[in-house]
Homo-oligomer: A and B are copies of this chain.
Amino acid sequence: MSTGSSTGSGAGEGALPRRATISDVAREAGTGKTSISRYLNGELAALSPDLRARIEAAIQRLDYRPNQMARGLKRGRNRLLGLLLADLANPYSVEVLQGVEAACHALGYMPLICHAANEIDMERRYLQLLTTYRVEGVIVNALGVPESMLKPMASGGIPAVLVDRTVDGLDADMVGLDNAAAARLGVEHLLEHGYDDLVFVVQPFEQVSSRREREAAFRAFAQGTQGAQGVQNVRATTHVLDLHEDASIDASLAALDAHIADAARRGARCALFAANAPVALRLALHLKACFGAQWQQHAALIAIDDPEWAALAGITTIRQPTREIGYRAVEFLHERIEGVALATRAAAFPGELIVRASTLG
C-alpha cells in the first residue's frame, strides 16, 4: 500500500545493516567486554551500581542483542533442541509440538523444528543438519530405519528421545501412548455396544512400533474376550491401508467394502477401528462416498487420536494426551543433557475414550 519512507523509532541511526557487538557496547559504556559479558550472564553481584547503570544505558542505546551463535560456540551449548516430526499434517504432531514448545519455553530451550513430510530422505537429511547445528538433543517422531538416525546422533553423543515410535536398533528414552490400554478401551467399547465384526484399519505397520502394538493389542483383546461380555463369536480382522500409495489404496478400500457388505449379509454388526486420525479421515471420506451423508448408519467407526473434526463428524475416538507427551519428551531430554545417565526410560500415557454417534448405531 504505502511506499513511503519510515525509519525506526527510538534512537534512529538510519538503517545501518550491522548489529552492535559486545565490543561496541563496551566502548559505548566506557568499559571492557568482560563486564558486559558479566552483566549479560546475570553476575550482577560483581558490578558496581554505577558501571551497571552505564552498561544498561549502552545496551539500550545500541539496541544490543548478544549473538547466540557466538555464545554457543564459546560455551559449547547453544540451547537448541532438534524436533523431528514425521508429518505435520497429522494433528497429532502439531499437538505434541505444542507440548514441546511449552516445555522448551520453561526450560530455556529453543526448538528447531524439522518436518520430514513423510519422506525418508528428508528425515535423514534433517538429522544430519541437526548434527551440523550442534543441537544439544533431539526429539524424534521418526518414520525411518534405524541406521538413518543411529549414525549421526549416537555417534555425535547427542541424546535422543523417541516419540510414539521406537527405532529398531536404538535404545533411547521413549514417550507415547499406552497402546495396549488404548486398543483395549476401544475394543471393549465396541463389544459393549454389540459389535461383533471388528476390523482394525492401519497403515503398513511392520516398521512403526505404535501401529504394531495397537494392532497386536486389538487382536489380543478382541479374540481374548470371546464369549465374555455376552458377545459370542466375535470376528477380528486387520486391514492394511497405505495412505501414501495411491496404487494400492483403492483395492484396499474395495476389499473393505466387500467385508462390510458381507457382514451386512450375515447380519453381523461391523465396526471399523482406525489406528490413527489420518486413517480415520480416509475411511470416513470413503464411507461417505459409498453411502452418502448417512454413512454412519452403515458402518461404525472408532479411532485412536481425536482431531478437531471428529466432533463435527460425530466419530468416537480415543484421545491421546498429546501435550503431555511432548512436554515429557523435553523433560527426558533435559535430564540427559544435564548429564543424568540413568537407564533408558519409557513413558506410556493412557488414552481417553470419547463416545460419539459413530459407535452408537
Q: Which residue of B lies closest to A90 (CB)?
A: B94
Contact of A8 with B155 in the complex, beta carbons under 8 Å: yes
Contact of B101 with A115 in the complex, beta carbons under 8 Å: yes
Bound-complex Cα distance A30 to B61 (A): 49
Per-residue CB contact flags for chain A residues 126-165 toward chain B (1 = under 8 Å, else 0) read 0011011110000000000001001110111100000000
Bound-complex Cα distance A6 to B284 (A): 43
**A311: CB under 8 A from chain B?**
yes
Bound-complex Cα distance A212 to B118 (A): 36
**A288: CB under 8 A from chain B?**
yes
Bound-complex Cα distance A68 to B98 (A): 27
By the criterion of a CB under 8 Å from any partner CB, how many residues of chain A are at the interface? 69
Q: Which residue of B lies closest to A16 (CB)?
A: B157
Chain B nearest CB, measured from A333 CB (Å): 15
Contact of A1 with B166 in the complex, beta carbons under 8 Å: yes
**A34: CB under 8 A from chain B?**
no
**A73: CB under 8 A from chain B?**
yes
Docked complex: A1-45 residues within 8 A CB-CB of B: 1-4, 6, 8-10, 15-19
**A355: CB under 8 A from chain B?**
no
Chain B nearest CB, measured from A326 CB (Å): 12
Q: Which 5 A-B pairs have the closest CB atoms?
A: A17-B157, A309-B309, A113-B113, A69-B69, A8-B155
Q: Which residues of A contact B (CB under 8 A)?
A: 1-4, 6, 8-10, 15-19, 63, 65-70, 72-73, 78, 88-89, 91, 94, 97-98, 101, 110, 112-113, 115, 117, 128-129, 131-134, 147, 150-152, 154-157, 166, 169-171, 281, 284-285, 288, 293, 296, 307-309, 311-314, 343-344, 357
